[in-house]
Structure 1
Amino acid sequence: MQEMIEGGTEALRLAEQILSNPPRSAILPLVEAQLLAPLPRPVRMRDCNLFTEHVERFFERKDQLEAEAAAGSEQAAAQLAVAKRMRFDLLLKRLTYYTVDPLSVSAHEEDIEWPAYSKAADFELEWAVVIGKRGKDVPLEAAAGHIFGYTIFNDWSARDEQLIHMEMGIGPGGGKDFDGAKTLGPCIATPDEFRDLSDVRMIARVNGEEWTNRSSRHMRFTFEQAIVEMSRSRTIYPGDIFASGTVLGGSAIDHGRSLKDGDVVELEVESIGVLRNRVRMRHGMSDRQ
């Protein structure tokens, strides 16, 4: 896939030619195949804050967190400390991101082995753009030309560990940095697959229960704006992945809940498909709250 991305329009043309008359020996029933991550080792990964409603809800809970902290909740006290440190008004004005480990990628249907140091398991429904063309200081009007396609991105989050690191003001740390913490898939869809890229349906389900049903129209910043930001005085490369951040309701913490051992998380993004994983917690540590 990396070679195909680097091959540009000529590689896509050849792929379309092959697919128009594929050799029968190359066709397998999907049930007999195991899908790997479309890019098991991306060139680079960055998770952006293109959706801001998810963070806004966190700030809206500050009064509730203060009451819970006063009643003796250590978890509420930790979340409150983070909220007091962060400037939400700046998040609305500036496209921010954090750097992701490209060695932490997992695939569709792969079990997510939860780190032993965490009891607060969470997922995040995101989608991501895959860069197809090298560039530097890309102007906004040219940004779309650097997009190869889109994939689903599950940003697994150990919330208890994340809060500790964020309270110190150093980012999510071990809360989002463990084996398999970033699931990509089930495929990469090229832009021509989409009905309307400004209004893409995004759904999260846990054990078949729908937890959110939103749309990309709620993005405060666009992928094109992310490309402009990521290429400022630095080069972007084919195979880079920039994720959107979490859609509102697309995580357990948005609902005041957490995942438990054996929970199946399904993330569906229109025109891409469904990304499905089961959480495996060591010692069955956590019950849903």
Structure 2
Amino acid sequence: MRLATYEHQRRRRSGIVEGDQVRPFPEGTNLLDLVAGGAPPATDAAVPLAEVRLLPPIEPPSVRDFVTFEEHVEGVRRSVDGQAGVPDAWYDAPIFYFTNPHSMIGAHDEVRMPPGCAALDFELEVAAVIGRQGQDLSPQQARDHIFGYTIFNDWSARDLQSREMQVGLGPCKGKDFATTLGPWLVTADELDPCRDADGTLRLALTAEVNGEVVGSDLLSNMSWTFEEMVAYASRGAQVRAGDVLGSGTCGNGGCMAELWGRRNRQDPPSLRPGDVVTLTVEGIGTVSNTVVPGLPAPHPLPSARKRPRTRPGAVA
């Protein structure tokens, strides 16, 4: 099944996508309840997809974004950190960071330039959505905990990210402002026939900017499977229904920062208002977002204040 959440006639609905139509569930149906094991209810009369605004399929409780494509790490590390190669620690396990679950946008929503950003970039990823709670799972067990898959565009303010990561914590406002999730949620059984011999999903990925292809790759070039990613995420912690796990950005132009790192220049140029980013994943669909102006400048904050290092009980 392909499950969508959408807005139609100013009402939020969800339903099953079939061809160029969506069959609505009763009003008030939340896809997160279905993901968590609820039975799909009866549907109403079909509505043309052309008449609806697609929303993020679910409102995820948490979002983990991994980095599983070696080619991406090579290029972006040079672009963001100015260092060559891949860190040895990357090969140890599928590393991830938590990003903002409240910044999800729909398949065709506009993307505002984030405050203070002059180097906006996209990131072509696929995300797995958890269907039921689990902890300390093996990769074999983890497969039964994946409900389905969707496209994931981890928009990135590269100039902000580069400065922030010098602190040694990871991305902050460079990743906080927008993530495209959509166009719908494809249940795992639909993509099972696309698996390689090692269990990796073999899906073609394509990125376009203003109608020009800038990147293409195969999802099967991931160095870990989604099941291995879920198992690692659940190690000593819980994964819960609706949790989103991004694959990390694919290689070969899955984002522009990778190309900047390889070419040692911003070619192609960073995104500007009016640019349209279209990402397509075989077996899932297409999302297409237009960049629009944001705030002219962020509200100013002071730099860190130099403080005395007095201790309790010390004489001033």
RMSD value, Cα: 2.0
User: Higher helix proportion, which one?
Assistant: 1
Equivalent residue number for residue 190 of structure 1 = 187
Moved over 6 A (4+): none
Q: TM-score, normalised by structure 2?
A: 0.75
1:272 lines up with 2:269 in the alignment: no
Q: Which has the higher contact order (CA 8 A, sep 6+)?
A: 1
Question: 1:184: Cα distance to partner?
Answer: 0.2
Identical residues among aligned pairs (%): 40
Q: Is the 8 A contact 1:52 1:92 kept in 2?
A: no
1:38-77 map, 5 Å: 38-39=57-58, 41-59=59-77, 61=78
Unpaired segments of 5 or more residues in structure 1?
62-75
Equivalent residue number for residue 120 of structure 2 = 121
Q: Is the 8 A contact 1:123 1:252 kept in 2?
A: yes
Equivalent residue number for residue 255 of structure 1 = 259
Question: 1:253: Cα distance to partner?
Answer: 1.4
Distance 1:152 1:284 in 2: 30
Equivalent residue number for residue 3 of structure 1 = 33
Q: TM-score, normalised by structure 1?
A: 0.82
Q: Is the 8 A contact 2:154 2:175 kept in 1?
A: yes
Deviation string 1:40-68 (CA, Å, 9 cap, x unpaired) is x2111100112221012245x5xxxxxxx
Question: 1:280: Cα distance to partner?
Answer: 1.2
Change (3 A) 1:219 1:43: same
1:211-230 map, 5 Å: 211-230=214-233
Equivalent residue number for residue 171 of structure 1 = 170
Unpaired segments of 5 or more residues in structure 2?
1-30, 196-200, 261-267, 298-316
Name which one, 1 or 2, has greater alpha-carbon Rg.
2
Question: 1:31: Cα distance to partner?
Answer: 1.0
Aligned AA (1:33): V
Aligned AA (2:273): D
Change (3 A) 1:58 1:115: closer
User: Higher strand proportion, which one?
Assistant: 2
Q: Is the 8 A contact 2:37 2:132 kept in 1?
A: no
Question: 1:29: Cα distance to partner?
Answer: 1.0
Q: Is the 8 A contact 2:129 2:244 kept in 1?
A: yes
Deviation string 1:200-240 (CA, Å, 9 cap, x unpaired) is 11111111111112101110011111111111111111000
Q: Is the 8 A contact 1:252 1:259 kept in 2?
A: no
Aligned AA (2:81): Q
Q: How many residues align?
A: 252
